[in-house]
Chain A
């Protein structure tokens, strides 16, 4: 029976050793991300019946359990998705902050103020060449600023789009990892009947990584398997099969979308969370919106100023006027959509006056000639014919269908345009272009600041008074006039400029608040996870001492049993 004691002691040695192995494993993984503390569960071995008694046969390692809370894990996964989303959004928005200016570096609003202030100075001194140059310089500044802001935003948008490619690579790695771990876990657990704790930890970590990239739903499959679905219900991982993501189809703003490899349908619900969701929201709903707002501002500024400017006159009148917009279909109505003239839809029935002057500057005749426009009826060819019929000028379409009005040795001016045809075709306008990318100063004003209109030609006498400022006064009043030429809500250009900055500021603040909240949530959940699943080295060391002592005691039992055997054997000698 001494051998029984030896066997019991040996089982203890083995069990304590295994328990210390588990502790050693815990201590080794104290800083391993995603590791859950493991606990060795010892249980007494099945007793042996000897007569009326059941004698114990020692101890054995019954189980190794990991400390894991599924609800906590799920909360962490969800929060990881939102945290990545808000972090990506915040970082993306902060990276374009310089575009919107600061109090120290004046932005678009300040440039608009400067432009209208310069026009006000011109209204007060219409003959002053310096004021004209000033207006031209500030007009150019607005065009440059809008162009620069737009190109930087487009660059940021492209960068966000390219970042999605990198994120997709990480998503596919995580999907592969989960599928592979599914396989390994199944193999290990089916063969041993015990939970593959470390592999499950790794799978949980892979799911968390995946959640940080795209929002997913985890569904427990049969036995030890899990299914991973997108928020729209698309299956991403089933058992050992992973379905990769890829770029495909068309998403917002003409960018390529995200699909499951081999499919053409867009993966739904991507923009609700995760790093990719952050990039998509940044690209389409933030940067895309700012670009649209800038384009709208440029369109309304351009048409609003041009509408007034086209009916005015500069200090000197040109001998040749060329429209800066070309007709696509001269035989069609001036306001036809097919003309590809951005503001053609603004043309209404009305007319304008053409004033022709001889080489001495005498109007021929005084009072000019009225050209009538009937929306939907008057064609570009007809307009050219009507202009050509005015004595002293010839009107033609050049090779690219720009309207060219030539006064020969004389000069030509326009006034009282009630049809908007001059502004639409950019004849005698201040700005050229209809969006933030192509907005510029008209070629005529670039060449000569004296072509900036401050006053207007007298409709009755055709006299162009150099001290007149009626158009300049209308243009400075325009800054407080609500207008919409592009289907947006009518607003002043200043309001539009402020709206872009305020929308941006609101978005950054919202993203920052969301990130701070999610960060705090992450820290709180992380602390809870650490408390539930983390390794406390002190506790592990104390446990180690306990098992070490038990091991020593078992060894003592062996020593004692050995001594007993020696005593027994000595009786036989």
Chain B
């Protein structure tokens, strides 16, 4: 078997090419901070990266959906709280006006306040967020409540809830619908109180007081329910924040390079490369021709 100088050159060349590939790969990893960036580098790892990134997008979507639902529910709750305050004021007035010591003139004064409070309730019930009616179901272009020819306030929305998609399979209702009986009771009690005051009807005022108490209780019930839903949204927001953090960590662990080991590998490769270059120079002088004079 002949071992000739050409074989040595070929072997060294193959080694140099290999070391250069390692250098190239290592430099790309260090500059990108990732173990791989292309599907061809690591097929299954790349797929895992896509799945994790998809998960991150899903979490971002869920958080955005929860924010949307929270905003609607919080605004709805603010309006309901305002309505409840109006009902408390109406109850106070009703207690005062139910007394036999109140004169007709006093009741007319109270009537003016009640009419004003009803207007405020009507305004609150037709509150909009981003131009969309809060309490009209999915008929968001409509005012939730309108006045009929008799001046009664009636529901003008539809019976569909406004849902938001937290995930592709999980939806939650993000609204309070105005066809809830609490709204009907509230407007009816206020109207009943107004009519009793207008008629200076003490018995009617006492009946209206009972209705206002019932309506107030109903509104408080809705506020409590919305509060629970807001709390649930907060908990879900926290949950998705945790999931997002976990995904971020997993993605970093999965894609990120171990800089220390990569640099060490590059250093080893660099030494091998230099040794190969040196050996090429050495081989150049190893020939019998140099010694034949």
Chain A residues proximal to chain B, CB less than 8 Å = 30-31, 37, 93-94, 97, 100-104, 109-110, 113-114, 116-117, 120-121, 123-125, 127-128, 455, 463, 465-469, 472-473, 476-477, 479-480, 494, 498, 501-502, 504-506, 508-509, 512, 523, 526-527, 530-532, 534-539, 541-542
Contacts and interface: CB of A to CB of B under 8 A. Distances in A.
20 contacts: A97-B40, A101-B39, A103-B255, A104-B37, A117-B58, A117-B60, A121-B61, A124-B165, A127-B130, A127-B140, A463-B139, A463-B158, A465-B139, A466-B141, A469-B165, A505-B39, A532-B2, A534-B4, A538-B4, A538-B5
Interface string B9-49: 01100100000000000000000101011111011101101
A262 to B, nearest CB: 42
Contact of A502 (B3, B10, B43, B255): B43
B64 interface: yes
Give the 10 A-B CB pairs with smallest separation, nearest first. A505-B43, A467-B138, A505-B39, A508-B40, A467-B140, A536-B4, A465-B138, A124-B164, A538-B288, A102-B37
A24 to B, nearest CB: 14
B162 A467 contact: yes
B288 A542 contact: yes
Contact of A537 (B39, B50, B164, B289): B289
B168 A476 contact: yes
A467 B137 contact: yes
A496 to B, nearest CB: 13
B171 interface: yes
Contact of A117 (B2, B61, B292): B61
A469 B163 contact: yes
A494 B37 CA distance: 20
B106 interface: no
Contacts of A120: 61, 65, 165, 168
A466 B139 contact: yes
Given A127-B130, A469-B162, A536-B5, 13 more contacts: A97-B38, A110-B50, A125-B130, A465-B137, A466-B139, A467-B162, A473-B165, A477-B168, A477-B169, A502-B47, A527-B7, A537-B287, A538-B4
Nearest to B139: A465
Given A477-B168, A536-B2, A537-B4, A530 B38 contact: no
Given A502-B47, A506-B43, A541 B168 contact: no
Contact of A93 (B2, B40, B46): B40
A466 B61 contact: no
B2 A534 contact: yes
Contact of A121 (B54, B64, B162, B171): B64
Contact of A535 (B4, B32, B141, B162): B4
A467 B139 contact: yes
Contacts of A494: 54
A110 B53 contact: yes
B1 interface: yes
A531 B65 contact: no
Contacts of B164: 123-124
Contacts of A93: 40
A498 B47 contact: yes
Contact of A113 (B57, B138, B160): B57
A279 B64 CA distance: 49
Contacts of B292: 541
B74 interface: no
A498 B53 CA distance: 13
B282 interface: no
Contacts of B160: 465, 467-468
Contacts of A116: 168
B132 interface: yes
B250 to A, nearest CB: 14
B6 A30 contact: yes
Interface residues of B, number: 57
Q: Is the interface of A mostly helix, strand, loop or mixed?
A: helix
B214 interface: no
A31 B5 CA distance: 11
Contacts of B37: 102-104
A30 B47 CA distance: 51
A536 B3 contact: yes
A472 B289 CA distance: 83
Given A97-B40, A505-B40, A531 B2 contact: yes
B109 interface: no
A530 B7 contact: yes
A537 B289 CA distance: 8
Nearest to A479: B168
B132 A467 contact: yes
Contacts of A512: 40
Contacts of A125: 68, 130
Contacts of A30: 6
B131 interface: yes
A522 B70 CA distance: 67
A506 B36 CA distance: 15
Contacts of A109: 50, 54
Contacts of A114: 57
Interface string B52-82: 0110011011001100110000000000000
A468 B289 CA distance: 91
Nearest to B40: A508
B179 to A, nearest CB: 14
Contacts of A469: 138, 162-163, 165
Contacts of B69: 124
A506 to B, nearest CB: 5
A354 to B, nearest CB: 22
A120 B61 CA distance: 7
Contacts of A31: 6
Nearest to A534: B4
Nearest to B60: A117
Given A502-B47, A536-B4, A541-B288, A476 B139 contact: no
A502 B39 contact: yes
A113 B57 CA distance: 8
B289 A103 contact: no
A102 B163 contact: no
Nearest to A94: B40
